[in-house]
Amino acid sequence: MVSSDFSDRPLKTLVLFDVDGTLSPARRVASAEMIELLRELRKKVVIGFVGGSDLVKISEQLAVGGANVVEEFDFAFAENGLTAYRLGKPLESQSFIRHIGEDRYKKLVSFILHYVADLDIPIKRGTFVEFRNGMINVSPIGRNATIQERNEYEAYDKIHGIRATFVNALKEQFPDYGLTYSIGGQISFDVFPHGWDKTYALTRVEHEGFESIHFFGDKTYKGGNDYEIFTDPRTIGHSVSNPEDTMRILKELFFDQ
Ligand code: M1P
């Protein structure tokens, strides 16, 4: 039985979306057309986003026209669902540092910073480690890179595999830490405990009784940060190449009937 909170929706379906590359272009703001389509969709089904970034960044991308992002979506899952809202109200959140412990974290971050210092890549900027509530995000070029620098780094990384090699070094150095490494975006990778990928968000809606859960994402290939939730038996996965693709499939599935 789906909660009476959603009794106004004709379909007992939850539709979850990745953010970057699915609802908005990478690190950019979603289009007004996308937000309008989501508002229409919400009249039919329950909607939510599951982003790897923190809520502040996701809000910048999805709060088109000053809207409050946790109110525009029925479920708002930032940091893969470790920070979560249901109908505008916060759910209990999880913490990376509490899980891993200060001592082990210090060893990890020190290794990362030494590794970045020794990296020979064309340019470096700042913020090489971003400490988040549910994960850390590591960027060889640094998170302060401009959009153009990001694009150039992404192309460089595709050829030289800087992030993949970095991840292998971390796996070798910290085999007993129980960490998952996920290369989801253009310039960085996320580090979090096993199981704290996007499927973590599914554990938060398990008891809601939806008849089906759709998931839309662009990094659905093995190693991408949408892979686990896309292939999870609890979801009907849709792999998209950009936000326009998402809109096209939504219209086919929910509006052309
Ligand atoms: O949502 C995908 C990824 O987006 C950003 O990656 P990048 O800055 O490398 O493009 C990050 O917020 C990352 O955590 C997230 O997984």
Ligand 1 atom at shortest distance from the alpha carbon of 20 = 1
**Which amino acid residue places its CA nearest to atom 15 of ligand 1?**
52
pLDDT at 66: 80
**Does 104 score more than 70 pLDDT?**
yes
Instruction: Give the number of C-alpha atoms closer than 13 A to the C-alpha of residue 57, restricted to the C-beta side.
Output: 17
Residue among 96, 127, 150, 188 to mutate when testing ligand 1 (max atoms within 8 A of CB): 188
pLDDT at 45: 98
**Does 241 score more than 90 pLDDT?**
yes
pLDDT band at 130 (very low <50, low <70, confident <90, very high): very high
pLDDT at 165: 98
**Does 106 score more than 80 pLDDT?**
yes
3 alpha carbon – ligand 1 mean position (Å):
33
The values of phi and psi at residue 37, to 5°, are -65, -40
Ligand 1 pocket, Cβ-based, cut-off 6 angstroms: 19-20, 26-27, 51-53, 137, 184-188, 190, 225
* pLDDT averaged over every residue in the chain: 94
Per-residue b or e along 46-75, where b marks 16 or more CB atoms closer than 10 Å to that residue's CB: bbbbbbbbbbebbbebbbbeeeebbebbbb
**Which amino acid residue places its CA nearest to atom 1 of ligand 1?**
52
What gap in Å lies between CA 130 and CA 136, rounded to an integer?
Answer: 6
pLDDT band at 253 (very low <50, low <70, confident <90, very high): very high
The H or E element containing residue 236 is strand 236-239
**Does 257 score more than 60 pLDDT?**
no
pLDDT at 102: 97
What gap in Å lies between CA 214 and CA 41, rounded to an integer?
Answer: 13
Indicate which residues carry an active-site annotation: 18, 20
Question: What's the Cα-to-Cα distance from 219 to each of 107, 232, 238, 257, rounded to whole Å?
Answer: 30, 14, 11, 28
pLDDT average, residue stretch 156-174: 98
pTM of the model: 0.79
Contact between 194 and 178 under an 8 Å Cβ cutoff? The reply is: yes
The H or E element containing residue 142 is none
pLDDT at 223: 79
Summarised one tens digit per residue, pLDDT across range 61-99 is: 998 878 889 999 999 999 899 899 999 999 988 789 999
pLDDT at 136: 94
pLDDT average, residue stretch 122-136: 94
211 alpha carbon – ligand 1 mean position (Å):
30
**Does 116 score more than 70 pLDDT?**
yes
pLDDT band at 1 (very low <50, low <70, confident <90, very high): confident
What gap in Å lies between CA 102 and CA 99, rounded to an integer?
Answer: 9
First-last CA distance in the chain:
25
The fraction of the chain above a pLDDT of 90, given in percent, is: 85
The fraction of the chain above a pLDDT of 70, given in percent, is: 100
pLDDT at 93: 81
pLDDT at 192: 92
pLDDT band at 27 (very low <50, low <70, confident <90, very high): confident
User: Which range has the top average pLDDT, 48-62, 116-130, 191-205?
Assistant: 116-130
**Does 20 score more than 90 pLDDT?**
yes
Which amino acid is present at 223? G
Per-residue b or e along 235-246, where b marks 16 or more CB atoms closer than 10 Å to that residue's CB: bebbbbeebebb
**Which amino acid residue places its CA nearest to atom 5 of ligand 1?**
185
pLDDT at 3: 85
- The conformation of residue 208, written as its DSSP 8-state character, comes to G
